């Protein structure tokens, strides 16, 4: 039993070190992106179920895309580290932009899934999407 505890602690330490290397300090932006990816996946499953279009292959592709989002965020963090180490940049700008980009895409997908199941999307959310995208599509 004691051996299992030590093995588990070692595994957790290795995993935490890997996360720290790939993402730096875990920020609220990463938490928001994680929450949005989970909500999008669940809303996509729900919409697919309600529309009778639920397929395991589509679900696996969805999971792969969600995993790849976090791979791209890790790449962005590593680019930031390269820029910092080379003296070209002093903040995590690339990673922040990548997180916001994917967060906005997840919000768009969630609202599309809401529409697929017949749930109206509040104007406040539509307006927030316009602001986050950085342009007013109503013009």
13 domain residue, yes or no: no
119 domain residue, yes or no: yes
112 domain residue, yes or no: yes
How many structural domains is the chain composed of? 1
Q: Are 92 and 80 in contact (CB under 8 A)?
A: yes
Cα–Cα distances (Å) from 41 to 9, 33, 110, in that order, read: 31, 12, 8
Q: What is the pLDDT of residue 97?
A: 93
34-68 burial, b at 16+ Cβ within 10 Å, e below that, comes to: bebbeebbebbebbbeeeeeeeeeeeeebeeebee
Q: What is the pLDDT of residue 137?
A: 46
93 domain residue, yes or no: yes
48 domain residue, yes or no: yes
Residue ranges making up the domain that contains 112: 26-133
11 domain residue, yes or no: no
The model's pLDDT over 105-138, given as tens digits with 9 standing for 90+, comes to 999 999 999 999 999 989 998 888 888 877 544 4
99 domain residue, yes or no: yes
pLDDT > 60? residue 21? yes
Q: Are 127 and 113 in contact (CB under 8 A)?
A: no
Residues in the chain: 139
The model's pLDDT over 44-100, given as tens digits with 9 standing for 90+, comes to 999 999 988 888 888 889 899 999 999 999 999 999 999 888 877 667 789 999 999
pLDDT > 50? residue 139? no
Q: What is the pLDDT of residue 130?
A: 85
Cα–Cα distances (Å) from 72 to 2, 35, 89, in that order, read: 38, 17, 19
Q: What is the pLDDT of residue 102?
A: 96
């Amino acid at each position: 039993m004691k051996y299992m505890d030590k093995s588990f602690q070692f595994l957790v330490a290795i995993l935490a070190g890997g996360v720290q290397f790939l993402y730096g300090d875990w920020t609220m932006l990463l938490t928001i992106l994680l929450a949005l990816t989970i909500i999008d996946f669940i809303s996509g499953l729900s919409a697919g179920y309600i529309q009778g279009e639920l397929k395991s292959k589509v679900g696996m592709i969805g999971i792969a895309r969600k995993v790849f989002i976090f791979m791209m965020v890790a790449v962005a963090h590593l680019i930031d580290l390269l820029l910092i180490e080379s003296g070209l940049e002093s903040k995590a700008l690339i990673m922040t932009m990548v997180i916001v980009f994917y967060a906005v895409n997840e919000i768009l997908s969630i609202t599309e899934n809401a529409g697929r199941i017949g749930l109206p999307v509040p104007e406040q959310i539509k307006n927030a999407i316009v602001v986050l995208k950085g342009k007013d599509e109503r013009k």
